[in-house]
Structure 1
Amino acid sequence: MSAVFPVLLDLTDRRTVVIGGGAVGARKVSALLAVGAAVCVVDPRGALTLPPEVVHIGEAYRAEHLEGAAVAFACATPEVNAQVVVDAKKRGVWVNAASSPHEGDFTLPAVVRRGEFTLAVNTGGASPALARRVRERLEAEYDAAFGEWVRVLAELRAEVLARVPDEARRRELLDGFADWSWLERLRTEGVGPVREAMLARL
């Protein structure tokens, strides 16, 4: 995979198909459930331990399993994965192939989530281990307080848009609220006092 276009997908209630319910497939399932996707796992093994909200099709993969899917994740054997890629591309379904990422349409970055704030690290499949290590470093820098700050900024943005008619003043306020000093205040003072201090600027 050469040049890639970074994009964040909203998969809420969208049908996503994971072919293969082993360790790799299980990680995909967990990540998909965390963002509200409707997950279906295709795996002929009947003894899989899956969350109750996951639909399990206990049979060997067939191309028909991709019908209606927004995206597919090929997490089975290399032979099955190769067939999933072919079938998915015929149907216009975006596909990720665990055993050969360059054959699919997209790769999965290492992700740091703090509420609505998301950081994604990608090496184009060259070194998932490096992406993971960068993510671990970023997790320490972008702590839970960062997610709280983003949530407060969302609230304040709505207030600014509703209460400040002058566009230049809006930009000034929103830019000021994104200053790093507010994050440091939030870490020491807490969410409530910082929110009130921001509101006092309106």
Structure 2
Amino acid sequence: MNTAELLDQFVTEARECLEAIGERLLEVERDPTDSALLNDLFRLVHTLKGNCGLFEFQALERVVHAGEDLLDRVRHGQLTYGPELADALLDAMDYSSELIDRIERDQRLEAADGRSDALAAALRALLPQAQHAAPQAAAEQAPGAGAAAPQDSPADGAPGWLGRIPAALLAAHGGATALRYEPEPECFFKGEDPWRLALTAPGLLHVD
């Protein structure tokens, strides 16, 4: 199967996914306590996100990934499904449908997209405060400029692994945020690539 055929298949499957997501969103709105519906909705959004990664459609993946993270918190009881959340998800999926049309028309998609960024930010703004920084990562404030935290005695309660960040980098970017990302054991079976996710983090300065 050549690239054009793969792209056609992606567009077809993405539209089917978005249609099913739209139906599930309406059903969940009627019964937000139905765990089976929530799990099915999450699965559909997760599948769409995974397919986006195959073609590096970053503007689309950005929105869908934010929706996936939001739904993951809802299905685990960490967030309540309500009208504001439902509207944000509907807006995001409607725009995702527009991006699919653009992909079919142009056979490509620009990585930078202001509307995509805004919708992803709106979704992530609904996450619990500790989850805003990045998907599946806990944000830690790096030590102040000028010195790295020693491995055995972290400064200001910072974790020891921050000591592996070069001191010169910390001096130049003292206000940066350090993230520790631990992939799920079954991530590859879900079509995820942890290394690619790490390398595509916005504003990446250093990877260990």
TM-score for both structures, normalised by structure 2: 0.22
Q: Which has the higher contact order (CA 8 A, sep 6+)?
A: 2
| More helix, by proportion | 2
| More strand, by proportion | 1
